[in-house]
Amino acid sequence: MRSVLAVAVAAVGVLGWEVFSKSAAIRQQEQRIQDLTAALADKSKQRALSEQTECAASATRFLVSRGWKPDLGSDYENHFNSRLNKCFVLVSGYLLKEDFRTLDLYDAVEGRHYATYIGHNICSPTITRNLSTVIRNCSDVSTGHG
């Protein structure tokens, strides 16, 4: 009977040690996962910053290559879209006297023109992919004549 009890105590001890060592291994693996996740997040942030920086440089090169110069009433914004892996530049112009606004959206790397917005604040805007006609005044918009 004592030998059975001794074997049972030894078995419980061995099982206890196994549980303890497995728990320690799991804790180490969880810590390693947390460390790797933090490193990946930091690397992702660095990559995003690098992509935005490269996009800003691409936008500047794009505008310079087309002779664009900032002046009163004109501006641009660039944005890197990580989902599409594209760098966009939005060029805007505004004529205060005529209350006339234009926006043009481009791919800063490929130079592709995506869209144009033309409008006045006092009438409906026109958005087109390929501008074929220019709206001369608000009556053209409201009457449908151009």
Q: Flag whether the pTM goes above 0.85.
A: no
- The maximal CA–CA distance of the chain, rounded, in angstroms, is 107
Q: What per-residue confidence (pLDDT) applies to 128? A: 52
d(CA 95, CA 74): 9
Tokens of 47: 């990559």
**Who has greater pLDDT, 124 or 18?**
18
The pLDDT of 102-120, averaged and rounded, is: 92
Q: What per-residue confidence (pLDDT) applies to 143? A: 41
Chain Cα centroid distance, residue 119: 28
Residue 37: Cβ within 10 Å count: 10
Judge contact between 57 and 87, C-beta under 8 A.
Answer: no
Residue range 21-55, pLDDT digits in tens: 888 888 888 888 888 888 888 888 899 899 999 99
DSSP string, 13-63: HHHHHHHHHHHHHHHHHHHHHHHHHHHHHHHHHHHHHHHHHHHHHHHHHHH
